[in-house]
């Protein structure tokens, strides 16, 4: 179970209008969000996003108002890592992200992926996010752009921002230090593969 009622991530700064203040190469064929099967959790009003948790899905506990996606991350050396991620796909979900989360297991998920309809430029920040996070930015072709470790910040407009090195279409957040655990090493690539994840392993 999540240790706190709300998972929280960084807000996106400097993106396009509807996202303003909100966080060895392999061929990439990422299905746009609209092409994925229907989500496993219903969205809520913006005020309800991330407040509490939804019903268990595949042995995991999602944040209220967030769905999930299965993804494949291929490390630079060709190692393949299959992961199950919370999905932030709407402007409201991307704005809420992992704010206020303190549970390092993320309810059994490997991280949260922020999905954009088109490449965007900008930076994530850690306002209202007490748990240290690491972020990996990927371009529209799923290729790793850059990574950063992000420090917690209180409810302040002066929180530090963490920009990507180039435009990105996906951003993956994990508890700090966890990028290598999910295969983000070297010239890594990311592919979203569907909505259903394998059952979570016990323990």
Domain residue limits, the chain: 12-194
Phi–psi pair at 37, nearest 5 degrees: -60, 160
Q: Give the whole-angstrom CA distance, residue 139 versus residue 137.
A: 7
Q: What is the pTM of this model?
A: 0.76
pLDDT of residue 198: 84
Angle made by CA atoms 55, 114, 122, in degrees to the nearest 5? 150
- 12-194 fold: Jelly Rolls (2.60.120)
- For the segment 56-96, what is each residue's pLDDT rounded down to a tens digit? 777 898 888 888 999 999 999 999 999 999 999 999 999 98
Apex CA 10: angle with CA 150 and CA 148, to 5°? 30
Position 37 scores a pLDDT of 40
Beta bridge pairs of residue 157: none
**Quick one: pLDDT at residue 181?**
97
pLDDT of residue 52: 54
Residuewise pLDDT in 10s, the chain (203 residues):
333 333 334 434 444 434 433 332 222 233 344 344 433 333 333 444 454 566 677 789 888 888 899 999 999 999 999 999 999 999 999 998 999 888 899 999 999 999 999 999 989 999 999 999 999 999 999 999 999 999 999 988 899 999 999 999 999 999 999 999 999 999 999 999 998 888 887 64
Please report the pLDDT score of residue 25 as a whole number: 24
* Residue pair 53/107 in contact by the 8 Å Cβ criterion: yes
């Amino acid at each position: 179970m999540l240790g706190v009622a709300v998972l929280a991530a960084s807000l996106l700064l400097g993106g396009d209008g509807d996202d303003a203040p909100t966080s060895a190469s392999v061929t990439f064929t990422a299905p746009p969000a609209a092409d994925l099967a229907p989500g496993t959790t219903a969205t809520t009003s913006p005020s309800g996003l991330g407040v509490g948790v939804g019903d268990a899905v595949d042995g995991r506990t999602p944040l209220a108002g967030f769905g999930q996606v299965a993804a494949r991350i291929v490390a630079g050396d060709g190692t393949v890592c299959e992961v199950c991620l919370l999905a932030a796909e709407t402007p409201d979900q991307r704005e809420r992200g992992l704010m206020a989360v303190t549970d390092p297991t993320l309810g059994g998920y490997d991280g949260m992926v922020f999905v954009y309809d088109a490449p965007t430029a900008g930076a994530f920040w850690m306002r209202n996010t007490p748990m240290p996070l690491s972020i990996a930015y990927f371009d529209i072709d799923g290729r790793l752009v850059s990574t950063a470790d992000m420090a917690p910040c209180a409810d302040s407009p002066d929180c530090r921002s963490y920009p990507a090195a180039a435009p990105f279409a996906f951003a993956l957040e994990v508890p700090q230090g966890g990028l290598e655990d999910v295969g983000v090493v070297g010239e890594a690539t990311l592919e979203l593969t569907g909505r259903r994840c394998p059952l979570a392993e016990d323990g």
